[in-house]
Amino acid sequence: MQPIVNKEICIGCGTCEGICPEVFKIVDGKSEVQKMADYTAYADKIKQAVEACPVQCISIEE
């Protein structure tokens, strides 16, 4: 599982960071995925962030 943010679409609203700050951070007005070896510990929160994103710029690569 690898979360991916499309920065061309991201509006930097911070919803993903609010839901899962362990994985998402707002940097220079756009969301960034924090680099880590394994995201499975945060899978549920990542999926919530994907669903909550108002512009649907987050996807998950399996």
The confidence score (pLDDT) of residue 60 equals 97
C-alpha distances out from residue 36 to 1, 47, 55, 56, Å: 11, 17, 25, 22
pLDDT for 34: 97
CATH of the domain at 35: 3.30.70.20
What is the per-residue pLDDT across 7-56, written as a single tens digit (0 to 9) for each? 999 999 999 999 999 999 999 999 999 999 999 999 999 999 999 999 99
- Structural domain containing residue 42: 2-61
Question: Based on the structure, what is the number of domains in the chain?
Answer: 1
Which pLDDT score is estimated for 62? 87
Using a 10 angstrom Cβ sphere, with 0-12 exposed, 13-18 middle and 19 or more buried, the burial of residue 45 is: middle
Torsion from C-alpha of 28, 38, 42, 19, nearest 10 degrees = 0
